[in-house]
Amino acid sequence: MRFFMVEQFCNTMRILAIETSCDETGIALVEAQKTDEGFIFRVLKNMLLSQAKLHEEYGGVYPTLAKREHQKNLPILFREFADEKVDAVAVTHGPGLEPALWTGIEFAKRVSEQWGVPLLPTNHMEGHLISSLVKDGELQNIELPVLALLISGGHTEFVLMRDWFKYEVIGETLDDAVGEAFDKVARMLGLPYPGGPEISKQASTAREKNTESPAKLPRPMITADTCDVSFSGLKTAALYALKNLGEITDEQRAAFAREFEDAVTDVLVTKTKRALKETGAKTFVIGGGVAANKHIRESLQKLLAEEFTYVEMRLPELSITGDNAIMIAEAALARALSGLDDSNMSDLRAVGNLSIAS
């Protein structure tokens, strides 16, 4: 990694960011000001086109289709930004689906060349993390270390930031990501993709009525002496339980969804408790698509209120939990205004499994 000062980016900067790592095509124009305590962001324009409906019949994201859609959507969205003036262009270069990532990279390269501004490759997970820390447009007075629980369709990881922009993965899933488990169990229950919000809806009905689940599910690795998690066993247990049950009523389906959501939440809460104790983090943040889940948010808030009163919790606004380009802009802006220059046009490529710790 290269660290050198970027003289021209004084204290304010405006970036156009492009996100195409999965099934959302996003472009955003964001401005940031560096202050003594951090950064103040102003989102000037934000465009997002979701392909979720198109991928529904596959029960997940279909890479070639995602690529084609991004190629179609990017120029349409870009029309709204064509007359803007920016200091740099940022683009997600990983992690994500490589064919999808490439469409964003190629497009961003052309824009940065045309506009004659630097191109800043940005890590998607860092985007989730940094943007989730932002509160009312401000990323200020954050006490380190920060512990982040990043939960999305492709990732589930505990990330520790002891120094700004230096990340250590202290726990992660050994198999499926939480979002993936939500999506697959939703499919087993006959619910549409993306399954997370659907399971959550069903589960909250069952919570209101307090209906009993027709099956009990395991809490994998909950007692293991590590911050790692595993969800494939839970998914398989759900599959067998449903096979055994055969036909189920709507009420039973909702109660089963609740049991699944409870199982995931129990694991995440227990592991968060362990991670907070182990790291002595002063700030805790959650990010990624699954961070929209009401039950998970409330359960983690309860844990902090009861056992970690000295830790400040940051919850992302619901509008930015899913993939978007604002998060890419904010991560790139925070880095650039801190004097970290990641611009490198020559070896910029899509890295499907890019780690936040790299």
Q: Contact positions toward ligand KG4, by CB under 6 A?
A: 22, 152-154, 179, 182-183, 194-197, 200, 288-290, 292-293, 322-323
Min separation Cβ 204 and ligand KG4, Å: 10
Rounded Cα distance, 353 and 9, in Å: 30
Nearer to ligand KG4, 173 or 343 (CB): 173
The item of ligand KG4, Zn ion, none sharing an interface with residue 322, based on CB under 5 to 8 Å by kind, is: ligand KG4
Nearer to ligand KG4, 121 or 179 (CB): 179
Rounded Cα distance, 108 and 119, in Å: 7
- CB within 8 Å of 210: residues ≥ 6 apart: none
The item of ligand KG4, Zn ion, none sharing an interface with residue 183, based on CB under 5 to 8 Å by kind, is: ligand KG4
Min separation Cβ 235 and ligand KG4, Å: 13
- CA 142, 143, 144, 148 torsion-angle sign: negative
The alpha carbon of residue 127 and the mean position of all alpha carbons in its chain are separated, in whole angstroms, by 8
Nearer to Zn ion, 48 or 217 (CB): 48
Nearer to ligand KG4, 220 or 289 (CB): 289
Min separation Cβ 76 and ligand KG4, Å: 21
Min separation Cβ 41 and Zn ion, Å: 19
Nearer to ligand KG4, 118 or 287 (CB): 287
CB 126 within 8 A of CB 331: yes
Site string for Zn ion, 296-335 (x = CB under 5 A): ---------------------------x------------
The alpha carbon of residue 240 and the mean position of all alpha carbons in its chain are separated, in whole angstroms, by 30
Min separation Cβ 114 and ligand KG4, Å: 29
The item of ligand KG4, Zn ion, none sharing an interface with residue 290, based on CB under 5 to 8 Å by kind, is: ligand KG4
Mind spelling out the 3-state secondary structure of 26-83? Answer: EEEEEEEEECCCEEEEEEEEEEEEECHHHHHHHCCCCHHHHHHHHHHHHHHHHHHHCC
Site string for Zn ion, 133-172 (x = CB under 5 A): -------------------x--------------------
The item of ligand KG4, Zn ion, none sharing an interface with residue 118, based on CB under 5 to 8 Å by kind, is: none
- Among 326, 354, 334, 345, smallest CA distance to 119 is for 345
Strands 12-19 and 24-34: antiparallel
Rounded Cα distance, 66 and 285, in Å: 29
CB 184 within 8 A of CB 190: no
The alpha carbon of residue 59 and the mean position of all alpha carbons in its chain are separated, in whole angstroms, by 19
Nearer to Zn ion, 25 or 252 (CB): 25
Site for Zn ion, rule CB under 5 A: 152, 323
